Chains A and B, each alone.
Chain A
Amino acid sequence: MAVSSLTRALGALLLSPAPSLPQIAQHPRLVCLGGNLLPACHGFSTSSNLSTNNPMWKCRIKYTTRPVGMKKTGGRDHTGRIAVHGIGGGHKQRYRMIDFQRLRYGPGSESGSYDEKVIQIRYDPCRSADIALVAGGKQKRWIIATENMQPGDILKTSRHIGRMAVSASEGDAYPLGALPVGTLINNLESHPGKGAQYIRAAGTCGVLLRKVNGTAIVQLPSKRHMQVLETCMATVGRVSNIDHNKRIIGKAGRNRWLGRRPHSGLWHRKGGWAGRKIKPLPPMKSYVSLPTAAARA
């Protein structure tokens, strides 16, 4: 949850000037907040700080692949009261800025498709999936790794939708209109250019069900159907770390290391947790704004 609010706040981070994203600040220089970011260092700096007191640590504008120190909230909101119970403690974590907008062109190169090479795949403390450092052109960035990604792979990203569907290999990113029906996808956007917000957890994948005049319908891991424009980008394959749901926590201490505080022991009579729940599928969620009847007529 913290990560999702974080990614919303970082929605305007500038890896390179992308025309469709709003910009938080027009200031071209790096926002350097206070002197407490870097410890006193003589000559060269050591590895980046482990944590920070700065409440504005999320508001970094310039993209970097170096990990950024985080400030834990403990479930408290801006008033200081607990907004979400059960969060607190846990191992210190540093945030690696992940680029969810897979189709990002460098300044001045607006070509159709480009390749990127996977340099390194590593564990990310902020999410269940693994992350991969990819390099293409002059830039390096972190992306969510897919299941069979290895260092040295070449990933293709393209925004061209042809008449024939592309035979996509795992890890490539294409618009939904270019993929064949039935491919497993992850990192799906709801609106073109918004950045991936769906199907990012470890081992998840969505299925492209059908393509209907200019839109595509995807089944999410919760079996809900979602209708989006066919120009929305998605990555092919399952997200990495597929055995994440099979792990056994083993002891209460491990949950504490993950930052989860114990539940309240009070029995809530009407909690609704017990018993089997059989519900019909919720209706299909459509992110496509169709023209009104008057305009269509």
Chain B
Amino acid sequence: MAGLWWPARPAAGALRAWAPRGPHRGKTAKVPRRPLPRTPWTTRGPPPGAPLPRSWQDKRPVQEQIPGLEQVTYAGKQYFVPWLARPRLPRWERGWHDPRHSPGPRYEAMPLYKERVCYVCHQRTKMLEGVRQALWLTKTKLMEGLPPKVLSIIDEPANQLENEDERVQNAISHARVWITTELIPKRESYCPVLLEDLLHLCRTMASKYPSLSKRMLARDYKVAAAWERESSILQVRGMNGILLNAINPLLPVASKDEILATENHILETFHPISPTIDLQEVNVYEERHDTGFREGYPYPHPHTLYFVESANVRPVRFRPEQLRAKMLMFAFGNALAKAKVLYGDDPKVLEHPVVVQSIGTEGRIFQFMVFQLNTTDLASSDGVKNLVWIDSDQYMYDYIRYLPGIRKKVVKFPPGIYGYRPDTFKKFLALYLHGAVQDSTQTQIL
């Protein structure tokens, strides 16, 4: 038959298409060994005293069994020859300690090594249970919504900018649209720009309230705080966010009665999951308290922490729940460090609670938080607890349209901001004005 689609059978003696080539050329496939016959030995094992068959014996290499039979290697010759075996040479020792080529001390040999494990929360810690876990770790009671003092600042008409909506929408358009010549900017670029623009708008109120100028922003500072919580040592360490420092501290937001009422509150546990899950366990640590600033810094009191969540890739970005947990942990860390510096290391209920605010955003959704540290006695779960007010998932706008929506050659949906909500910026501004507005009302009363 002519025109076969498969190649014709090769000549006898020539290599078949599927035969092995190279060093295995000419070898035939080994016939697999038949299964062992069923005898009492193979099913039940050989009786204890009998000699084992060859294949079941322990086989040590012949060189190990007979002393004079080790392999002859070229180690004695000090150079390679192809017919002698390759020697197992001893590992070369430098003889002196070169810091650039040594593996470094083991954890057990480090001076700060401790047997007891410490759990560290840093800026990449994403807690599994989110805010509930952070509440247990910081011995805090949660209150929904912002405190009434802050809400009253929003309601006052004097605390608004001129053309507030227009200026905020300009800021949003700057961050989301005008910042780049490409069509759609990445979150890494627009998120910090949006925060900077909003802060700039807030700072323009300094003409009305002069005490606003007694504040300073700080970036890239490291905070350190350590505390013990029901037989686990916890620490908050590292760079967190942008901190707004002030000359005068924030006055306590909750009254004494509310603080004493927290004694009856029971912290929520989540049974099969331990509260220290997702925290980094370290054995080499040092318990210290550091606000991040030296003594004599002109703006000693922390006012507000701003968190920018601008990772481009969704798996790396913090979800809103995890962002709120991170905000709570770092607000607590800053407050605790400041309290230890002001009032000493002993765990006690504070006479003048420390208040730290916190705002977190990922470019569109804002989380507002006011944290009040009432006590540094955190070892037991009873007693006075700290307080936190959280306003979560505040949308500043719904979405941005980059390209116009054209239906039948008519522009039906122009490009721009859709779903703008003015309340979010009002809350942002209220948290910014929190310490300053009280000063002016008090001076007015005086």
Q: Residues of A at under 8 Å CB distance from B?
A: 44-47, 114-117, 119, 135-140, 154, 266, 289-290, 292-295
Contact = CB atoms under 8 A, between A and B. Distances in A.
B127 to A, nearest CB: 11
Given A46-B313, A135-B272, A138-B274, A294 B47 contact: yes
A119 B128 contact: yes
B233 to A, nearest CB: 14
Interface in B265-320: 270-274, 276-278, 281, 311-313, 315-316
Contacts of A45: 316
Contact of B313 (A47, A139, A293): A47
- The 6 A-B pairs of least Cβ separation, nearest first, read A115-B272, A47-B315, A117-B272, A138-B274, A136-B272, A137-B274
Contacts of B111: none
Contact of B316 (A44, A115, A135, A290): A44
A135 B273 contact: yes
B32 interface: no
25 contacts: A44-B316, A45-B316, A46-B312, A47-B315, A47-B316, A114-B272, A115-B271, A115-B272, A116-B272, A117-B270, A135-B128, A136-B272, A137-B273, A137-B274, A138-B276, A138-B281, A140-B277, A289-B45, A292-B44, A292-B45, A292-B47, A292-B48, A294-B47, A294-B48, A295-B48
B86 interface: no
B124 interface: yes
A117 B273 contact: yes
B277 A138 contact: yes
Contacts of A294: 47-48
Contact of B273 (A136, A289, A290, A293): A136
Nearest to A134: B272
Contacts of B311: 44
Given A44-B124, A47-B316, A293 B44 contact: yes
A44 B312 CA distance: 11
A202 to B, nearest CB: 26
A164 to B, nearest CB: 25
Q: Most chain-B CB neighbours within 10 Å: which of A154, A289, A294?
A: A294
Given A116-B272, A137-B274, A290-B44, 11 more contacts: A46-B316, A47-B316, A135-B128, A136-B273, A138-B276, A138-B281, A140-B277, A292-B44, A293-B40, A293-B44, A294-B47
Nearest to B41: A292
Interface in B37-87: 40, 44-45, 47-48
Contacts of B44: 290, 292-293
A116 B270 CA distance: 11
A139 B128 CA distance: 11
Contact of A135 (B40, B45, B48, B277): B277
Interface in B151-175: none
B128 A154 contact: no
A47 B312 CA distance: 10
Contacts of B40: 293
Contacts of B274: 137-138
Contacts of A137: 272-274, 277
Contacts of A266: 6
A289 B45 CA distance: 10
Contacts of A139: 277
Nearest to B271: A115
A289 B311 CA distance: 57
Nearest to A290: B44
B321 to A, nearest CB: 13
A292 B44 CA distance: 6
Contacts of B276: 138
A264 to B, nearest CB: 11
Contacts of B281: 138
B58 to A, nearest CB: 19
Contacts of A117: 270, 272-273
Contacts of A46: 312-313, 316
Contacts of B6: 266
